[in-house]
Amino acid sequence: MAKPLILVSNDDGITAPGIRMLVRVAMKIGEVVVVAPDGPQSGMGHAITIGNTLRLDRSIALEDLGVEAYECSGTPADCVKLAKHHVLRERTPDLVVSGINHGSNSSISVLYSGTMSAAIEAAIEGLPAIGFSLCDYGHGADFSHTEAYVEKIIRQAIVNRIPENTALNVNFPKKSDEPIKGIKICRQAHAKWQEEFDERLDPNNRKYYWMTGSFVNFDKGEDTDEWALVNNYISIVPCQFDLTAHHAIGMLNEDWDF
């Protein structure tokens, strides 16, 4: 029986420690092909390259793992498009996995996330997909406690499948002295980033800004990704690319006069 074909991408770049761990795990399960950005693309969301050329080259970044890998000058969504329509144009991946992201992609961060945009782009292409993220922004973030769970989730996705037009947003709590309590299927918490802008002057006395701020969670529910992560659970949120506010269609039809 042929091994499943697994496409791996990310947004932290092909040299990031998270993608190295994800590739190692995926190689236990199937044949792996990597197409990832040649440098960091965090916070790019679902951006695609339309005004510049794209470059795609064989990469030596993961050569020691013996995996077929390519680095792309574009965004995470570009990487999946190129993988689907060029690198693997005569083959169809059984699963697309993205990450493991260095930092949380829970709640509203899913909209800004390049990691999840790679997974959602795969879902748009009709491919089952998962984005993995670790809620640790530290330079020396420890990914080791995610390994067994990543393998378990990938195997479940291969055997039991992922619902059509859906990408799974998987977030891991930061490693602590206490073991992870388990996995919870969650909804996205109602929360947002409250931005502030630090105004400064450059040497030519021109203003420039650093965006800062804090994360504000308005959601008190115990079925959200934020609750799960705070309580040391892994969160899995099924995400869709259909952004239609279906509940608003009736109100607009009834109340608006066209």
Predicted pLDDT of residue 139 = 85
Predicted pLDDT of residue 138 = 87
CB within 8 Å of 206: residues ≥ 6 apart: none
Q: Is 107 annotated as a binding residue?
A: no
Q: Is 11 annotated as a binding residue?
A: yes
pTM for the complete prediction?
0.95
Pairing of strands 56-58, 68-72: antiparallel
- Residues 167-215: tens digit of each pLDDT: 999 999 999 999 999 999 999 999 999 999 999 999 999 999 999 889 9
Q: Is 205 annotated as a binding residue?
A: no
Measured CA angle at 196 (ends 195, 197), to 5 deg: 125
**Structural contact between residues 152 and 109, judged by C-beta atoms closer than 8 angstroms:** no
Pairing of strands 166-172, 207-217: unpaired
Domain boundaries, the chain: 5-189+220-255
Q: Is 42 annotated as a binding residue?
A: yes
Does the domain at residues 5-189+220-255 carry the CATH identifier 3.40.1210.10? yes
Predicted pLDDT of residue 213 = 86
Closest CA to 10 of 63, 65, 69: 69
Give the span between the Cα atoms of 97 and 222, in whole angstroms.
27
Residue 258 pLDDT grade (very low, low, confident, very high; cuts 50, 70, 90): confident
DSSP result, 188-227: ---EEEEEEEEEEE-TTS-EEEEEEEEEEE----SSBHHH
- Residues 18-50: tens digit of each pLDDT: 999 999 999 999 999 999 999 999 999 999 999
Predicted pLDDT of residue 33 = 98
- Residues 110-143: tens digit of each pLDDT: 999 999 999 999 999 999 999 999 999 988 999 9
SS3 label, residue 50:
coil
> Looking at the predicted structure, is the pLDDT value of residue 238 above 80?
yes
- Residues 58-105: tens digit of each pLDDT: 999 999 999 999 999 999 999 999 999 999 999 999 999 999 999 999
